[in-house]
């Protein structure tokens, strides 16, 4: 899901789009579906004149955090809502 604001995790500054619940089925894991979805988000950000793509990721998932890092995202902070501990990631477009 792509949103144009995210008051739960980020301060909204009208400079970004936000990705939530990015997932693909395990049986397509080798097909770069996640990369295609991130590329789509980048294009959508450009279309709407946004500077960043932002997302949150479960802090205790090192593989997923490394995936976002490999895809050009920079870690921008951490947080906790209830039992959910997360990292904030941002990519400049």
Q: Output the six-digit token pair for 35.
A: 């990369």
The dihedral built from the CA positions of residue 45, 37, 65 and 67, taken in this order, carries a sign that is negative
pLDDT tens for the chain, residues 1 to 93: 888 888 888 887 889 999 987 765 555 555 578 888 899 999 999 999 999 999 999 999 999 999 999 999 999 999 999 999 999 999 999
Spans of all domains in the chain:
2-92
CA separation for the pair 81, 1 (Å, rounded): 19
pLDDT at position 68 is: 95
Q: What is the pairing mode between strands 52-58 and 16-19?
A: parallel
Residues 6+ apart with CB under 8 A from 87: 56, 57, 58, 59, 65, 75, 77, 78
Query: What is the CATH code for 2-92?
Result: 3.40.630.30
pLDDT at position 34 is: 82
């Amino acid at each position: 899901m792509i949103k144009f604001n995210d008051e739960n995790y980020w301060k909204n500054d009208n400079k970004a789009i936000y990705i939530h619940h990015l997932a693909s089925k395990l049986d397509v894991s080798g097909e770069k579906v996640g990369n295609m979805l991130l590329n789509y988000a980048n294009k959508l950000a450009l279309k709407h004149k946004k500077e960043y793509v932002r997302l949150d990721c479960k802090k205790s998932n090192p593989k997923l955090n490394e995936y976002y890092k490999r895809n050009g995202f920079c870690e921008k902070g951490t947080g906790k809502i209830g039992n959910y501990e997360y990292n904030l990631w941002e990519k400049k477009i």
